[in-house]
């Protein structure tokens, strides 16, 4: 089960390969993450691995199958789960299948090599033309990635058996399916049913890259365990450059997205993230000496605090804890730089890197101790008011109050306005500083700061008759 986890995304090519990850398991466990998502480790022609040429072997650049099995075993010893990244929508053009297909319809558009229209909404659009839907599903993702025809029952059975093999022979804890909504959805639903029947409790995360909650929810209702929340990703991306003033700006964007959580079967089984290997890193290419740098670093802290307390499965991209930046404007490689070896120790990190590492580590350890509260607790949010966004997570007699200042100036928190969640409590414990904070009188919150308060829920006494 992945719903109580915090996922850390690693590109093996940028993290020392499989054995490099094994050497760093202690660092990752100490950071406080609980699951590792590795981008594809299969044989391929690229460093990113999404053009697979052998679904049953590990690329020698990263290690061997025995190394991978050892990684899973040792990760489990450290309390870490392993999520395998794979793609069934397409393979690499150098896969032996392409030059000698097992059957004539093994690939879509093998003769024309037509590229997809990248409009995934056609697969749920009630008005979509057949032409558009065919181009979405049958089109190639890139000219080096032939589109596989999952409607072929032999190919689908191959992938079901392949998945079985990796689960049973390595002990992986989950799968992340690349380009999930580009594949034939009926075939993917069949694959999911087979995997669930053979491996109860095994979870699949699917890449569902449409920035709209209804689309993401439709994937979950269609059988996908954990869709990726690109709508929330987009909201964080806009909010970091805005103040929380108009109803559509700043942290109002987060509030507005969460209003649609009723669409999901279970919003706590949706993966949320600030960035990943396909998009700009959250702090982009900011100059650490620029006037905007302090605000961006505060915004990163605030956004991580929100990400880690929402009813979602959070994913953190490797290097976020040590302020790795980059944008895809230059190239995808600019957001996929090697993790700096020096940053594995406090002595090797700069002052700012250590500050971010300490901050994120503190929240991650708190969240690990309170994983059930975040995974199963109720959520109550208030419309952002005068720059402040407030919500409460509650489970039984455990509660946390999240108070976020979404502006570049100090904001005032007035407990009386939030009596619905503060109740009769006189104080709460700040999980970062450890200090007790009074809930009886207003207090000021620094610019771009999030305060997470542990609040003990007081039980009401009743007279029995």
What residues act catalytically?
Answer: 178, 207
| Tokens 């959580």, located at residue | 261
The whole-angstrom separation of Cα 20 and Cα 339 is: 11
Distances (CA, A) of 416 to 216, 431, 438, 439: 37, 22, 12, 9
Q: Return the bridge partners of 394, or none.
A: 378, 399
* Interatomic CA distance for residues 426 and 397, integer angstroms: 15
Q: What are phi and psi of 448, to 5 degrees?
A: 55, 35
Rounded-to-integer distance, Cα 423 and Cα 416, Å: 9
d(CA 435, CA 433) in angstroms, rounded, equals 5
Token pair, residue 214, equals: 């209804």
Distances 105 to 101, 108, 460 between C-alpha atoms, Å: 8, 7, 66
Q: How far apart are CA 240 and CA 242, in angstroms?
A: 6
CA distance 303 to 323: 14
Q: At what angle do helices 153-170 and 185-198 cross, to 10 degrees?
A: 40
Residue written as token pair 């509030």 = 255
Residue 366 token pair: 């708190």
SS3 string, 68-114, reads HHHHHHHHHHCCCEEEEEECCCECCCCCHHHHCCCCCCCEECCCCCC
The angle at the Cα of 83, spanning 77 to 87, to the nearest 5 degrees, equals: 155
Instruction: Give whole-number Cα distances, 284 to 122, 241, 288, 323, 335, in Å.
Output: 32, 12, 11, 10, 8
- Strands 174-177 and 203-206, how do they pair? parallel
Strands (E), 324-449: 378-385, 388-395, 398-405, 411-413, 427-430, 436-438, 443-445
Rounded Cα–Cα distance for residues 114 and 92 (Å): 15
Please, which residues have CB within 8 angstroms of residue 193's CB and are 6 or more apart in sequence?
223
Choose among 148, 40, 34, 33: nearest CA to 90: 148
């Amino acid at each position: 089960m992945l719903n109580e986890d915090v996922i850390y995304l690693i590109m093996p090519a940028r993290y020392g390969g499989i054995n490099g990850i094994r050497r760093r398991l202690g660092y990752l466990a100490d950071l406080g993450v609980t699951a590792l998502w590795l981008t594809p480790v299969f044989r391929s022609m690229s460093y990113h691995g999404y053009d697979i040429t052998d679904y049953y072997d590990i690329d020698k650049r990263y290690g061997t199958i025995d190394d991978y099995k050892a990684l899973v075993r040792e990760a489990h010893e450290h309390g870490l789960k392993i999520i395998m990244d794979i793609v069934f929508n397409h393979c690499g053009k150098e896969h032996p299948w392409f030059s000698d297909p097992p059957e004539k319809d093994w690939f879509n558009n093998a003769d024309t090599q037509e590229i997809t229209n990248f409009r995934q909404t056609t697969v749920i659009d009630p008005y979509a033309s057949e032409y558009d839907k065919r181009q979405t599903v049958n089109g190639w993702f890139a000219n080096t990635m032939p589109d596989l025809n999952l409607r072929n029952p032999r190919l689908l059975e191959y992938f079901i058996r392949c998945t079985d093999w990796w689960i049973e022979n390595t002990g992986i804890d989950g799968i992340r399916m690349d380009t999930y909504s580009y594949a034939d959805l009926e075939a993917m639903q069949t694959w999911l049913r087979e995997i669930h029947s053979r491996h109860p409790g095994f979870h699949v995360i699917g890449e569902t890259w449409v920035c709209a909650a209804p689309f993401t929810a439709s994937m979950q209702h269609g059988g996908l365990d954990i869709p990726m929340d690109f709508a929330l990703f987009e909201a964080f991306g806009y909010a970091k450059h805005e103040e929380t003033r108009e109803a559509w700006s700043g942290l109002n964007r987060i509030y507005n997205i969460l209003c649609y959580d009723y669409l999901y079967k279970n919003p706590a089984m949706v993966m949320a993230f600030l960035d990943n290997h396909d998009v700009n890193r959250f702090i982009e290419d900011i100059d650490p000496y620029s006037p905007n740098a302090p605000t961006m670093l505060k915004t990163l802290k605030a956004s991580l605090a929100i990400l880690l307390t929402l009813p979602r499965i959070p994913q953190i991209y490797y290097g976020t804890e040590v302020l790795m930046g980059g944008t895809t404007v230059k190239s995808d490689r600019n957001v996929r730089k090697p993790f700096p070896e020096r940053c594995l120790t406090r002595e090797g990190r700069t002052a700012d890197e250590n500050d971010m590492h300490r901050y994120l580590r503190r929240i991650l350890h708190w969240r690990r101790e309170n994983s059930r509260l975040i995974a199963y607790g109720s959520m109550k949010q208030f419309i952002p008011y005068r720059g402040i966004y407030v919500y409460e997570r509650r489970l039984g007699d455990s509660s946390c109050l999240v108070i976020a200042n979404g502006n570049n100036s100090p904001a005032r928190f007035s407990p009386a306005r939030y009596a619905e969640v503060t109740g009769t409590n006189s104080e709460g414990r700040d999980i970062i500083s450890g200090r007790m904070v009074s809930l009886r009188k207003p207090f000021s919150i620094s610019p771009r700061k999030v305060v997470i308060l542990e609040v003990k829920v007081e039980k009401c006494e009743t007279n029995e008759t």
